[in-house]
């Protein structure tokens, strides 16, 4: 059981409480107006920023992520920033999701990530976007056999999480 901190309820305590139960966390930033990311916001070089500007649709972002090599973390656990992913052309799940969120942000969409918690396996992270009241997800999936762009959109995030939740989750016995 997670102990509640003194002084009231905090967002961090709520996140720990939800994560302890193995559920997905839904946090939305307060982005009411369209805000476009600048080079300085992302800490990117001019050519890297130009690449993200060319990735102007979810399909193009997904295709770019598909052609990145897998980051097997041979030097230990890593969570590389977008600039390093673009430099090395390697990414794993969360690194690909952060790159996708940055590309969406360059085009004025909020940079949203969905962390799907797993009890006996690794978490799966996707970048979220919204089109006409429907949610879509961009993911870095390590499957070298085929390019898998998911065109299915869902009205509810719970449905989207259920669709993507079985990818590599809870496969290990713990």
For the record, the structure tokens of 117 come out as 């918690």
Choose among 63, 136, 127: nearest CA to 96. 127
Indicate the average pLDDT of the chain. Answer: 78
DSSP 113-172: EEEE--SSS--EEEEEEEETTEEEEE-----TT--------BSSHHHHHHHHTTSS-S-S
Q: Which residue has the higher pLDDT, 172 or 130?
A: 130
pLDDT for 25 beyond 80: no
Q: Tens digit of pLDDT for each residue in 82-104?
A: 999 999 999 998 999 999 999 99
Q: Which residue has the higher pLDDT, 163 or 20?
A: 163
For the record, the structure tokens of 169 come out as 């989750």
Length of the chain: 174
For the record, the structure tokens of 70 come out as 């897998």
* Residues 114/126, Cβ–Cβ less than 8 Å: yes
* Residues 58/130, Cβ–Cβ less than 8 Å: no
Write down all domains in the chain, each with its CATH number in brackets. 39-164 (3.10.620)
Quickly count helices (H) and strands (E) in the chain. 7, 5
Residue partners of 158: CB distance under 8 A and separation at least 6: none
Q: Which residue has the higher pLDDT, 23 or 63?
A: 63
pTM of the model: 0.74
């Amino acid at each position: 059981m997670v102990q509640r901190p003194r002084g009231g309820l905090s967002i961090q305590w709520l996140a720990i409480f939800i994560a302890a139960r193995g559920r997905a966390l839904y946090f939305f930033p307060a982005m009411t107006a369209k805000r476009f990311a600048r080079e300085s916001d992302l800490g990117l070089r001019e050519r890297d920023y130009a690449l993200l500007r060319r990735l102007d649709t979810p399909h193009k972002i997904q295709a770019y992520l598909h052609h990145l090599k897998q980051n097997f973390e041979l030097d230990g656990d890593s969570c590389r920033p977008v600039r390093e992913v673009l430099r090395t052309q390697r990414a794993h799940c969360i690194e690909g999701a952060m790159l996708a969120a940055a590309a969406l942000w360059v085009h004025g969409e909020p940079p949203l990530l969905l962390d799907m918690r797993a009890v006996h396996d690794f978490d799966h992270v996707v970048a979220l976007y919204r089109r006409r009241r429907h949610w879509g997800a961009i993911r870095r999936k390590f499957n070298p056999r085929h390019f898998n762009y998911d065109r299915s959109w869902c009205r509810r995030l719970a449905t989207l999480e259920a669709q993507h939740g079985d990818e590599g989750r809870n496969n290990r016995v713990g």
